[in-house]
Amino acid sequence: MELIGGILQARYCSSQNENPTEQQHEYEESTEEFKYVEKLLNNKMIPTPPQHAEYPTPSGWYPQTG
C-alpha cells in the first residue's frame, strides 16, 4: 500500500505468484489445427471479378476502368 496525495492506494497484480517457482501456464504447440485458421485469414491477392453478359449488372455494379 502506498500513500499518494493523502489517499491510500493498494495495487494488486494477478501475475504475481505466491510461489515464484510454480509454473503458471502449461500449453502445447500444434500446427495441425492451423488449417482452420487459414480459412479465416484474408486472401493474399484480390480475385478477378466474374464476367457478366451485360453491364451494369441488375444490382448496378460494373467493373472499374483503369
Residue-wise pLDDT for 38-61, tens only, equals 888 887 888 788 899 999 999 999
Q: If residue 38 lies in a helix (H) or strand (E), which one and from where to where?
A: helix 34-40
CB 42 within 8 A of CB 35: no
Side-chain half-sphere CA neighbours of 62 within 13 A:
6
Output the pLDDT for position 27.
80
User: Is the pTM higher than 0.75?
Assistant: no
- The mean per-residue pLDDT over the stretch 5-34 comes to 71
